[in-house]
Amino acid sequence: MSTLTFLGAVGEVTGSRYLLDVDGNDRSHKLLLECGLHQGGPDADQANATPFGGLARSLDAVVISHGHLDHAGLLPKLVREGYSGPIHCTNDTRDLMEIMLVDAAFVMAKDIEWQNRWRKKAGKPLIEPLYELADVERTLALCRTHAYGQPATLPGDVTLIYRDAGHILGSAIVELNVPSGGRQRRLVFSGDLGNPGSVLMKDPERIQDADLVLMESTYGDRDHRPLEDTIDEFARVLEEAHAAGGNVLIPAFAVGRTQEILYHLSVLHHEGRLKQRLVFLDSPMAIRVTELYNKKRKSLNRDDIKTLNVVAQGDPSQYLPGLRLTRSVEESMAINRIHGGAIIIAGAGMCNGGRILHHFRYNLAKASTRVIIVGFQAAGTLGRQLVDGAERVKVFGEELAVKARIHTIGGFSAHAGQRDLVAWAGAFRNAPRIYLVHGEPGAQQRLQETLAESGIEAGIPGYGERVTL
């Protein structure tokens, strides 16, 4: 019998990883579904640094649902430790990973350089990065890309089909038809399901047939506000910030959230509801991703693709007057001379690194500042501390008072809310086995209860748990 082992995103949102042992006719095969980075503090760092051991050299193939680092961010480490087989993904995911993994390697190198400088002075052993740019290049060379709905044959007579998950560019629901016990069994992994309220992405595809389902549960305990209410709340916070004379800081994920936020800011401007005259996109990676979204606009929701066009063509005045794309460190530093009236969109989305931290140093202690959280904040991250109401936080080792007002606007999330998750699970016929992954324990338990109220049973797996197909 073929088996599936849960190796990540169990009891947490990040670190996606599942091992599929396929009972083939000639020999068994090992397929890895996802290879994601853990995010959220020292425990996550330790998990990321743990060697793959013999797994890297024993795998026959890797399958990736989409390009976010918590799903694909450890691929270069896997390759560094000896993996040399195919990495399957969608066409657009491969292009996104080229941007994101290169950026991750660059940021990692800078962080390690800074840490080793301190360690050398303290007489402590030096540390190495999880991977380097050369590992990223080898990883990208192993990618085998597929269009949505295009069947592909994997080792062990496994058939792979990708469906549109509507989460970010290239995101996919993974269907794997796997031989097990003399029959074909269908394993469906939701990946990250998109928010149907998204203006740029299509709605996630509904699937009817499966034997085993892995479903994300990030927002399993709540629904998002309707988009119209979300936009009104966003506009109100921006207006309050303008009246208070402060800056607005938006820690935004480079892929998906940034592009949606830019779209909504442009709409507010054209409706006469945006008072701020300066908007900074202070993230080289987010700028590159926005340019990629423009190139790939046929993959997006066709009603809204026109809104991204001018950003990539270098004429933001037609798109969002006042928008400044700051690529260099010097341009980013210059923003901190602006004491009010600006909107600053910067990474990282969970505030666990990136340029947003520098803007926190200059703005977080001001009562006139508004911080708008637009995406999920994993436990252990600085973003989660702010959402939870921390009065003081550490930024670059310096303790800062949090006098800024923190606003969480969940309607901009790229994830499906509880109601959407229940509807997606309810589309399956013949009651497949469902396991909830990619969620914190409270969210998973609440979703499990809500699914049960609709007559749908779902299990919550533990780390290392193995199930048969």
pLDDT of residue 310: 42
Number of neighbours of residue 113 by Cβ within 10 angstroms: 10
Q: Residue 459: phi, psi to the nearest 5?
A: -100, 160
Whether the CB-CB separation of 100 and 285 falls below 8 Å is answered with: yes
- Measured CA to CA, the distance from residue 288 to residue 326 in angstroms comes to 11
Q: Residue 462: phi, psi to the nearest 5?
A: -105, 165
Taking the chain (469 residues) in consecutive chunks of 10 residues, what is each chunk's mean pLDDT?
Answer: 96 95 84 94 87 95 96 98 98 96 89 84 89 97 98 96 96 97 95 90 95 97 90 94 96 85 88 93 90 80 52 56 90 93 90 88 95 86 92 90 92 90 96 96 97 97 96
Q: Is the dihedral of CA 304, 305, 311, 316 positive or negative?
A: negative
At residue 87, what is the residue type?
A: I
Show the domains of the chain with their CATH numbers. 3-222+414-468 (3.60.15.10), 227-412 (3.40.50.10890)
Give the tokens for residue 47. 């998990």
Which residues have a Cβ under 8 Å from the Cβ of 273 and sit 6 or more positions away? 235, 239
- Measured CA to CA, the distance from residue 256 to residue 306 in angstroms comes to 16
pLDDT of residue 302: 53
Whether the CB-CB separation of 375 and 253 falls below 8 Å is answered with: yes
- Measured CA to CA, the distance from residue 107 to residue 91 in angstroms comes to 25
**What pTM did the predictor assign?**
0.89
Q: Residue 318: phi, psi to the nearest 5?
A: -80, -20
Nearest to 170 by CA among 313, 258, 250, 71: 71
DSSP 459: B
DSSP secondary structure letters along 271-290:
TT-----EEEEE-HHHHHHH
pLDDT of residue 311: 47
At residue 333, what is the residue type?
A: M
- % helix, strand, coil for the chain, step of 5: 35, 20, 45
Whether the CB-CB separation of 178 and 20 falls below 8 Å is answered with: yes
- Measured CA to CA, the distance from residue 234 to residue 383 in angstroms comes to 18
DSSP secondary structure letters along 398-439:
EEEE--SEEEE-GGG-SS--HHHHHHHHHT-SS--EEEEESS
Number of neighbours of residue 375 by Cβ within 10 angstroms: 20
> Hey, is 317 helix, strand or coil?
helix
Nearest to 293 by CA among 99, 63, 35: 99
Whether the CB-CB separation of 469 and 246 falls below 8 Å is answered with: no
